[in-house]
Structure 1
């Protein structure tokens, strides 16, 4: 990924620098480094530091904490896409005798497996992983805190289990599999399990005095798949572009869309805050846009990665302090600044290269009862169906190659759409999950459920 600082206007670049400078000063971070990505490329990089001799740039490693979980989730989705496992499989099927085998793989990915948030004492983030050499040491005697699948409860041990699952099915250590299947194909050469020079040191900043204390940088051992990785803004910019667009060498765009889709029932406070969790990715509604990504923290470090797919923008913010700056808020603000100052220029309209006449015949208005909807053709033989005006159920559909389409999003996600034809080949109606859509409201020539009154439409004379 090349960096082109000139692609943003001077005023935008200054606003970005002002935002991280304010965050670094007010958050009292020894250093902060950030990057903005647009169109798959880094278009701005900024850094602020107050530690002598430490000049962060896109090549300096910081610890990224739980952003590691997104990498682990990608490995699991790869196994699913290869047919090695199903997300609905219980863990016990592939990794027996853990004591947490009732949870499904999808539930572990979405933190709905019912497991504890942390491993038993001592605090795993500040102690050597050698204290927890086995999964039993990570899970403890009572791994569950909630009924399986009932609520979202963030669980670090759950991602330890997912890392162990990857090791079991690949027959190699998690770190080796990650490097071979994700880091090398994406060119993330500065992402590693252990720090490599140049890297930042982790610090605790005293809450009531401007003094610092170095934090230990422990090897997390079994807990590594939940938070071990070190990386740079350069590498994470590439990773963010991948999470938005996909790369068939690693994971398809369709599977990444699945990761970015809410998969966990949010808690009440999460509903109020507009946040949710997908499969290894956090989702938040902020300022009218949907942001996906992940936060990360370990003693001495804070990290945030956010993506606005709609705006074709992403940002990464890294700091080397235990607490202080709200890096996810800063990352979201960087996206907002660029999106508002330099809105994405739409791609030029282009006609379809080819069209199937039998599909074109379906375009236009359809009625479910008296509600008017419009079917439109999209690229690659797909269609969309939504209200003619106003709000309502709206979905996109992918072509199945046999005259049917499967819903991709919205109310009709996963539902089958098909055109039902009469013996003479003309279209009678659309069938969508038992709903009958007709060319006229309550078309008497179509099999409308409940039938159509033979006297037809009528007026009413008022007294």
Structure 2
């Protein structure tokens, strides 16, 4: 193995190996390999059975299917960050004449563009891409099945359009752009559009017999941005670290966090399952843990990349079978095993470097009506507002440099917080998106909309 196995405790390593072994045996996968990432580095790799006569390691390629979509999404976000397009732009603005141009770029990234799930014609994953040389061959005569922007409907042709968008704006083939702008900067040298030895062969496993049938491995042509890539658990471990932290050579931490943020209307079934979709990334709640990443499958292969961002643990699992092991569950379990057996050590508490008396004056207890909140100054330079008890609206706020603060998450994301002062300079109240927060509930003389009864608080005789 090329990863330092000793970084996890023996019990944790055995639990990981046990989960992988059960998945391979019960799922009847010809081979299965997994890598776990913690603190941005691969710390464990485990494999079962063999490829070309030896156990696969983190350098053996498998086809990763729709994890390719996350790579394509990174390229599109790069174009946005460079100011070459806006995610709210309709596709037609940058790639005219497709017949699907009314969908916005963001809607295509989030699978809410209303497009069909699959390309018309023969089963595209087992058909040479040369039979679909044009976008019209990918979309067919009826590209839209649903109103644009109204529902999440997973669409492979939608990511074909995004790949074509990248080619149009960059003036180069999708795979060339991917290699130059993502694979090489991140050191993903074993990720490619065509298989490169050592690589696994793809197999179908008979559902009622322990027998194998080789699956074809087709070049997907125009559909490549939706599922073409081959990769290794080693490369995908590095990609997982990037999707957690960002890398200024490729995408900032803020932009990869945006990819992990729900961006599409959810169906009732999705809400029940705790599943959502961001910008080229799947999002789910499992065992009380927020997970992000992507699954992938093509005939002969299954793949999954899962990030537990709050735990700073990720897992990659690859297998060479058309169906069998549920790799999304396996990857989520690998994250859970590490997160629970070896919880993340928090950063040490440190005091503020400097204390601004004007800000310190704002700290403490505030009331919105009768709801109690605490406002805290934190060492990272933010303000934190949260309920004094129970659940409720909470957010951190970033300073704007002009005496106002902008909410970073939850109900108050993007909302403006400011301290309103009296003529003598003392703080009168806080204004948060037009809500008035006072030091006492319905404080006498405070400018609470609707006024405060002058007789004040009372009992009932």
TM range (shorter): over 0.9
Q: Pairwise mapping of residues 44-55 of structure 1 onto structure 2 (< 5 A)?
A: 44-50=44-50, 53-55=53-55
Structure 1: how far apart are the matches of 2:348 and 2:262? 31
2:402 maps to what in 1? 402
2:305 maps to what in 1? 305
2:79 maps to what in 1? 79
1:424 maps to what in 2? 424
2:127 maps to what in 1? 127
Shift of 1:175: 0.9
SS at match of 2:130: helix
Structure 1: how far apart are the matches of 2:285 and 2:326? 17
2:387 maps to what in 1? 387
Structure 2: how far apart are the matches of 1:198 and 1:357? 63
Shift of 1:395: 1.3
Q: Is the Cα contact below 8 Å between 1:2 and 1:41 reproduced in 2?
A: no
Q: Is the Cα contact below 8 Å between 1:2 and 1:42 reproduced in 2?
A: no
1:315 maps to what in 2? 315
Matched, 1:253 2:245: no
Q: Pairwise mapping of residues 306-385 of structure 1 onto structure 2 (< 5 A)?
A: 306-385=306-385
In structure 2, relative to structure 1, the CA distance for the partners of 1:312 and 1:288 (3 Å cut) is: same
SS at match of 2:257: helix
SS at match of 1:47: strand
Shift of 1:448: 0.7
2:242 maps to what in 1? 242
1:215 maps to what in 2? 215
Structure 2: how far apart are the matches of 1:193 and 1:132? 17
Deviations 1:116-150 (A, max 9, x none): 00011111111111111111111111100000011
Q: Is the Cα contact below 8 Å between 1:355 and 1:381 reproduced in 2?
A: no
Structure 2: how far apart are the matches of 1:85 and 1:55? 45
SS at match of 2:73: helix
In structure 2, relative to structure 1, the CA distance for the partners of 1:197 and 1:355 (3 Å cut) is: farther
Structure 2: how far apart are the matches of 1:344 and 1:164? 41
Structure 1: how far apart are the matches of 2:229 and 2:452? 64
SS at match of 1:392: coil
- TM-score (norm: length of structure 1): 0.97
Structure 2: 5+ residue stretches without partners: none
Shift of 1:245: 1.1
Q: Is the Cα contact below 8 Å between 1:118 and 1:156 reproduced in 2?
A: yes
2:34 maps to what in 1? 34
1:20 maps to what in 2? 20
Matched, 1:459 2:459: yes
Structure 1: 5+ residue stretches without partners: none
SS at match of 2:446: coil
Matched, 1:96 2:96: yes
Shift of 1:352: 2.2
In structure 2, relative to structure 1, the CA distance for the partners of 1:150 and 1:47 (3 Å cut) is: same
Shift of 1:380: 4.1
